[in-house]
Amino acid sequence: MATYIALLRGVNVGGKNRVVMATLKEQFEQHGFTNVSTYLNSGNVLFSSEETNILQLTEECEKLIESEFGLKIIVTIVSEKMLLEALEQMPEWWNTDRK
């Protein structure tokens, strides 16, 4: 089972496209995703799924959100593996200005 992050574009920004994170989490769980958690009101959802096709997952998440919240939201799915690979490629100078 793989772990993914669903990034929802334009959710809970400036009072528009309001999505209650507890409801979003519940809907992801009811859809069959596991280990579901959300982060504040960001519209970011971490979850696990047997599905490995990113395009299929994206379509499922977009349909789920439109069905439950009546919003056509663009969703970007990033696998845990993809995120770790990207982080490994960070240049050495990245984030060196923090003290």
Task: Give the closest residue to 50 by CA, choosing from 2, 99, 98.
Answer: 2
Segment 47-93, tens digit of pLDDT: 999 999 999 999 999 999 999 999 999 999 999 888 888 888 888 88
pTM recorded for the entire structure: 0.82
Contacts of 42 (CB under 8 A, 6+ apart): 11, 12
Residue keyed to tokens 């990245």: 94
Beta strands, E only, the chain: 2-8, 34-39, 44-49, 75-79
Segment 19-37, tens digit of pLDDT: 888 999 999 999 999 999 9
